[in-house]
Amino acid sequence: MARYTFQRFVYMVITLFIIATLTFFLMKLLPGSPLQNQEKLTPEQKALILKEYGLDKPVPVQYIQYLGNLLKGDLGVSFQYDNRPVTELISDRIGPSAQLGFQAIVFGTIVGLILGIVAAIRHNHWEDYTATVIAVLGASIPSFVLGGFLQYFIAVKLQWLPVAFWEGFKYTILPTLALSVGVIASIARFMRTEMLEVLSSDYILTARAKGISQAGVIMKHAIRNSLIPVITILGPMTVNLMTGTLVIEKLFAVPGLGEQFVRSIELNDYPVIMGTTLFYSALLILAVFIVDVLYGVVDPRIRLAGGKK
């Protein structure tokens, strides 16, 4: 297992390196410069400032310099927020994004699992139909529509919860709800499909034949084996939500990372693009790794195969 983990770690570093390289060169293909006042500057003035930044050098030279700094842990400073270190930009903004994403995932997973399980057990009964309708609605209503709806009715009309901002737990409730709907929908859908398949498999029949109670069959055998596809999507979904969601953060004025990332691309803010991409990739790779480990926990067959590698 230790050797397996170490191997995976080396792959992770290599993947990260490839992502860094690709992003760097793709980013340099973006037209324009990171200057903020480029509309007003003359080409000569632009050239002078870019030279001061070292952006007049050939791209491969810039790349090597960037890698050198990266190894020293230096992600550089932002252009749009003059001189602010990229690490500071990310660490300032990841907190709210991560908290929101985490809450949405936990809440969404719990509700989604319950819905999916109930739907499968009560297959073709009203419970199933209700759960399916909820899942379809959840998958088809975009989170910003639901978010706007929640904001208007619950915060503006009923005044039960704050409209926006980030000043305590109650400020997180509406954005969490808006975000978790998508999670609920996909988890419920996966869980229901997989449960139905598992419930009709031979070993469930065997278990039932042994005289195990319905509850025992569901708890011990069905749920656990149905979790695999759920776990597969849970990893990337968690990273996705925790690194910030542009629309919901904007709607609820959450000081998160989501909008920042999009803006940095629009403004050619090279160091921030690189910093956030690397951060995001590292999280994603880590999530995939954890998902792999989790497979082993839920399904011993996978653990054995992994161990042999």
Partner 1 sequence: MKKRFSLFLVLLLALSTFLAACGGGKDNNNAQGGQGGEKPAEKKEQVLNLLDSSEIPTLDSALATDQVSFIVLNNVMEGLYRLGKDNKPVPGVAESYEVSQDGKTYTFKLRKDAKWSNGDPVTAHDFVFAWKRVLDPKTKSEYAYIMYDIKNAEEVNTGKLPLDQLGVKALDDYTLQVELKNPVPYFVGLTGFGTFMPQNEKFVKAQGEKYGLEANTTLYNGPFVLSEWKHEQGWTYTKNPNYWDKDTVKLEKVNVKVVKDTATAVNLYETKQADRVGLTAEFVDKYKNDKNFHTKLDPSLYWLRMNTKKEPLNNVNARKAIAMAIDKQAMVDTLLNNGSVPANYTVPKDFVTGPDGKDFRDVNGDLVTYNPDEAKKLWEQAKKELGKDKFTLELLNYDSDSAKKIGEYVKAQLEQNLPGLTINIKQQPFAQKLKLESSMQYDLSFSGWGPDYQDPMTFLQLWTSTSPHNETGWSNPEYDKLIKDAQTTLANDQQARWDAMLKAEKIVFEGMPIAPLYQRGAAYLQREYVKDFVTHTFGADYSLKWAYIE
Q: Which of residues 140-179 bind partner 1 (CB under 8 A)?
A: 148, 151-152, 155-156, 159, 163-169
82 binds partner 1 (CB under 8 A): yes
Report the C-alpha gap between 172 and 103 in whole angstroms: 9
The residues in 265-294 that bind partner 1, with binding defined as CB under 8 A, are: 266, 268, 282-283, 286-287, 290, 294
Report residue 122 CA to chain centroid gap.
Answer: 32
| Shortest CB 260 distance to partner 1, Å | 8
238 binds partner 1 (CB under 8 A): yes
In DSSP notation, 219-243 reads: IIIIIHHHHHHHHHHHHHHHHHHHT
Q: What angle do CA 171, 174, 178 make, to 5 degrees?
A: 145
| Shortest CB 37 distance to partner 1, Å | 4
Sequence-separated (6 or more) residues with CB below 8 Å from residue 79: 34, 35, 36, 267, 268, 269, 270, 271, 272
Binding residue for partner 1 (CB under 8 A) from 1, 48, 61, 145? Answer: 48
Query: Quick one: which H or E segment has residue 135?
Result: helix 126-140
118 binds partner 1 (CB under 8 A): no
3-state secondary structure of 33: coil
Q: Considering only the stretches 5-13, 56-64, 94-102, 135-143, report the one whose residues sit in contact with partner 1 under the rule CB under 8 A.
A: 94-102
49 binds partner 1 (CB under 8 A): yes
3-state secondary structure of 248: helix
Binding residue for partner 1 (CB under 8 A) from 252, 261, 270, 295? Answer: 252
| Shortest CB 129 distance to partner 1, Å | 28
Binding residue for partner 1 (CB under 8 A) from 20, 35, 177, 191? Answer: 35
Q: Considering only the stretches 16-24, 49-57, 66-74, 178-186, report the one whose residues sit in contact with partner 1 under the rule CB under 8 A.
A: 49-57
- Residue number, 70 or 265, with CB nearest to partner 1: 265
Buried b (16+ CB within 10 A) or exposed e, 253-282: ebebbbbbbeebeebbbbbbbbbbbbbbbb
Report the C-alpha gap between 252 and 97 in whole angstroms: 12
Size of the site for partner 1 (CB under 8 A): 74
Residue 74 contacts residue 234 (beta carbons within 8 Å): no
229 binds partner 1 (CB under 8 A): no
| Shortest CB 118 distance to partner 1, Å | 17
